[in-house]
Chain A
Amino acid sequence: MNEVLREFLLETDESLAQLDIDLVTLEKEPKERETLARAFRTVHTVKGTAGFLGFTKLQAVGHASESLLSRLRAGELAFNVDIATTLLGVVDAIRQMLASIEQTEGEGDGDYSALIQSLDRLKIAGSLGTNAVAASTPSAATLNLPLAGNGVGRPELRVAARPPVRGPVAPAPAEEPSPPPAPAPSIIASASTLAVPPAAVSESTETRTPAVSDSAIRVDVGLLDKLMTLVGELVLARNQIMQFSTTQEEAAFLGTVQRLNLLTTELQANVMKTRMQPIGNIWSKLPRVVRDLAIACGKSARIELEGQETELDKTIIEAIRDPLTHLLRNAIDHGMETPEERVALGKAAEGRVSLHAFHEGGKVIIEIADDGKGIDPKRVREKALHAKLITPEQADRLVDRELVNLVFLPGFSTAERVTHFSGRGVGMDVVRTNIEKIGGTVEIESRLGLGTTTKMKIPLTLAIIPALTITVGRDRYAIPQVSLLELVRLEGDQALRRIEQIHGVPVYRRRGSLLPLVYLNRVLQVESSRGEGDEVNIVVLQADDRQFGLIVDAIHDTEEIVVKPLQKQLKGIAAFSGATIMGDGRVALILDVLGVAQMSHVITGARERALSEKPAGRAEPEGDRQTVLLCITRDGGRIAIPLSQVARLEEFPRSSFEKAGMQDVVQYRDEILPLIDVWRVLHRGRHDGLNGDAASLGQAARPSEDDPSVQVVVYSGKGRRVGLIVGQILDIVEETLVSRSRANRPGVLFTAVVQGRVTEFLDIEGIIASADAASFDTSLVLSAEA
């Protein structure tokens, strides 16, 4: 394909995107003179170039549209819905021809005579009714244009916009091939869809800021990819040198390494930036989508875009284009009520869909919110039960928020009727698959009657990802952080006790639900360095809607890795998604979490239709999540103390105990720390007296009062410190509390399942109060409360 043709395809594609926006704007604001003029110029240029290149059909369509636009611009016609629809049809027709030109260098055999006829009809019909509109002369309108917006900085467009442009005059050939120094702050989104070899940098959809043509240059995307690869190599080399430098002592060398480190990081950030484009590039097509859909569904909707300038890696932008469009369709087709319904509900007749993009915690969040009817959890539940996607037992366990997220299950659709746009039962699961493919997540929040918000979390880039390194046998593997939920380490006899078997299949009780366990060495058919009775390391992973625990030999660091594809000799091994070079220069394979899950039958090949315990893992109600300190009392019972109330953990020898009245105390950090034996207080509550002490409790092996030292949790609150003697400090865990139940003895707030075990949550203030009382008068035990 020759240079002129390529340039033409590229330019036209860009201008059509703008034309889409302009036409939709004009439909709302028919008097936007500037927009109208720009639309006219675009069509004019396309037509002119088409004539010059010998594409007669394209020229004819362009000519008919231009004539219509020319009358509009002259004020002899008023812009209306019919005109908008027809002209948008023209945009589609031109796109169709461009696609054909791109593939065959010919316009294709489409018949556009009907389109041309309707254009001509509109031109005449419109002019009959609306003659009287006063307007300035066409030439004045064009001349007065401030040089802002799409065409600015492009010589050929400016030429085309000058006065004598009413006829089908083709611009002089000389203007065409000139590769314009484009106003180019970013890579054009459509470069790859056009398949015009990577060469595409162009103006973004910014219509507000006039681009300055010499502040930017066009760069081949291929070159940027190459740069990115090179920087990846550099990062690896840097990692290797950093690792080597740990064995060196030469100050000058270490200084240089530090500097190299900083420079590499900065270079990486900046090269990544060159591949970034504002999300607005794909959003620019959305106003049109919303308009078309709203009309087709008999609804009225407007779109609000916020955060267009938020930047994402080019490949990721491409990947979210379809899911985004799909969600938007859902919002209007399913979410939005008809104008009548809305008015009846006291809402504005025109619905609102808003897109909001912003950065948060190294990711980009995209929210799509509508003010429609929201998703009814009850209906979702019925549908899911009806389609046998979940069992009634599972359904009963789900809260509303989890129910709403069932729409991501394959085969789910709540649309009452199937429309052209949505409701065919495919969709949301595809949306989720696509988002997860690029390492993102998607979640729905809905308030019945008020609207629905879909929240996508997208990583900034794919080439360099954080990953956890683990060892199995003598090899290291990298696990992408995005699949990682948590790490569990079981030591000694815990390892034997906590891993249970269901007919030979290992499971682990994690917060009250069974987590299937998979031995990575068995999946990969390699030896394991783990011996009988060794500690067990479990990497809890999310694959699709399933969670499973991967048992590995050792867990190392998290580091940034550069993802490299595997060569074709190794394609087809589902367990690996790529390879990377570690800091020591050796190669490590990157585990494909989904593949491992499939190989070990955690999920079946076709997406599992059933539902996991917790659909999104993160969909747990946030409010109940807290970090607690787990301890065992002397009688083996498990207790938990909110970590926020814990000042320090200490161990005191019994010999350091002193007495202050009835109270045990120790000298601690220049203070006198009163000590309260938790077990005594709890026990006292139950047995209504102090004498039950040792007698009734012969059961479990437990740290007794004879132990030379005690574990103490230093509590600080209400301006004082108190030491709580507990049997043994176990662990600190972050927990979502499930199946709470009311306390059955004083000193306990409530009981909940933590790490699969019934655990009592201490009412520390209550314990202190009762201990205070007890230390003065043992008869004042809290029996009254029991």
Chain B
Amino acid sequence: MPNHQFCTFYVDGHYCGLDVLKVQEVIRYQEMTRVPLARPVVRGLINLRGQIVTAIDLRRRLELTDRPADQLPVNVVVHTDDGAVSLLVDEIGDVLDVSDQNFECPPETLRGTARDLIRGAYKLDGRLLLILDTDRAVNLSGGPP
């Protein structure tokens, strides 16, 4: 069984991972310029070494509660076909090497936006690693939010 590497992080207590090859870099909180009239999941624009990058809040994207005001998010910058996009997460974890035999697709009972974004879960010791689909996470062309 082949192995996969994931960049892991925490979002509102959930342990999530993104394909490590999709992740360009992880950087600490950056000052953002908010974008009025944009959808709430877009928290703002950051200046990433001269490149203007849209920051999407994964908590809002996954329809979770907002992070407390005193907690600064971390930027997980991912490659997309439209340049780099930052996903705001609570805390960063390790890069994890997991075996595909532990993978399972999400159950039918998972509904809503989460179902679109979560490709499935790796059954780790004592917890689940939720694998997110990068392209879908940054694609806001669907309905709200």
Contact = CB atoms under 8 A, between A and B. Distances in A.
Nearest to B31: A586
B42 to A, nearest CB: 6
Contact of B54 (A237, A475, A524, A569): A569
B140 interface: yes
B82 A524 contact: no
Interface in B10-64: 31-39, 42, 44-47, 50, 52-54, 56
Contacts of A567: 52-54, 82-83, 85
A573 B35 CA distance: 9
B140 A569 contact: yes
B50 A570 contact: no
A570 B33 contact: no
Most buried by A among B32, B50, B54: B50
Contacts, number: 62
A200 interface: no
Contacts of A587: 32-33, 44-47, 52
The residue in B33, B56, B83, B138 that gathers the most chain A C-beta atoms within 10 A of its C-beta is B33
Contacts of B34: 475
* Interface footprint category on B: 20 to 34
Given A579-B45, A579-B52, A573 B38 contact: yes
Contacts of B39: 569
B49 to A, nearest CB: 8
Given A568-B82, A573-B38, A589-B33, A233 B54 contact: no
Interface in A511-545: 524-526
B74 to A, nearest CB: 19
A524 B47 contact: no
B39 to A, nearest CB: 8
B138 A586 contact: no
A564 B140 CA distance: 20
B47 A569 contact: no
Contacts of A526: 36
A575 interface: yes
A89 interface: no
A581 B52 contact: yes
A495 interface: no
B47 A233 contact: no
Most buried by B among A526, A569, A585: A569
Interface in A228-242: 233, 236-237
Contacts of B38: 569-570, 573
A526 B33 CA distance: 13
Top 6 closest A-B pairs, CB basis?
A: A524-B36, A587-B33, A233-B50, A587-B45, A567-B54, A569-B54
Interface of B: 31-39, 42, 44-47, 50, 52-54, 56, 82-83, 85, 138, 140-141
19 contacts: A236-B50, A525-B36, A525-B37, A564-B52, A567-B52, A568-B141, A569-B42, A569-B54, A569-B85, A569-B140, A570-B38, A570-B42, A573-B37, A573-B38, A579-B45, A581-B47, A581-B50, A587-B44, A587-B45
Given A236-B50, A569-B38, 18 more contacts: A475-B33, A475-B36, A525-B37, A566-B52, A567-B53, A567-B85, A568-B82, A569-B39, A569-B42, A569-B138, A573-B35, A575-B37, A576-B35, A579-B33, A581-B50, A581-B52, A588-B33, A589-B35
